[in-house]
């Protein structure tokens, strides 16, 4: 909730963004790794001692990040029908290619591998594993 509010209202002139721009900003922040355990995150307004990405496992945070990156790519290529389920609604948005004419938009592969993670998140800081 707080994250959505930030995307709409945090502007230089303090005027809310139009819905289309706020939608794009929301996914751009997620795709930049806002929820990854190694990112500097915003404090949770309900519990200032915790960060907003509390409770996400590194694998879930990676899934959210790469799905948001794929959504940003769909928006850039104006594939709104796919994004909103108007065309190819049976397809999984995050796991299947989008092809049209000479453009092939492929979803990203998993970047998180537990066995290669050097700085594992602290359970006390990030909480128990929560599945998305």
Domains present along the chain, CATH in parentheses: 2-114 (1.10.1410.40)
CA 35, CA 19: separation in Å to the nearest integer? 22
Low-confidence ranges of the chain (pLDDT < 70): 1-2, 41, 88-91, 93-94, 111-132
Counted residue by residue, the chain has a size of 132
Q: pTM value?
A: 0.70
What integer pLDDT is reported at residue 132 of this predicted model? 47
Q: What is the pLDDT of residues 91-105, one digit of tens each?
A: 676 677 777 777 777
Structure tokens at 77: 């290529």
Alpha carbon of residue 36 to chain centroid: 9
Beta bridge partner(s), residue 56: 130
DSSP state letter for 51: B
Contact 121, 52 (CB under 8 A): no
């Amino acid at each position: 909730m707080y994250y959505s509010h930030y995307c709409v209202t945090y502007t230089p002139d303090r005027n809310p963004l139009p819905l289309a721009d706020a939608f794009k900003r929301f996914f751009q922040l997620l795709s930049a790794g806002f929820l990854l355990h190694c990112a500097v995150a915003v404090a949770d307004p309900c519990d200032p001692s915790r960060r907003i990405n509390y409770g996400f496992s590194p694998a879930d945070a990676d899934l959210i990040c790469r799905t948001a990156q794929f959504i940003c790519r769909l928006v850039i290529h104006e594939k709104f029908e796919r994004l909103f389920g108007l065309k190819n609604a049976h397809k999984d948005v995050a796991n299947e290619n989008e092809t049209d004419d000479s453009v092939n938009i492929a979803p990203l592969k998993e970047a998180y591998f537990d066995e290669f993670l050097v700085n594992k998140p602290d359970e006390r800081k990030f909480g128990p594993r929560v599945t998305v």
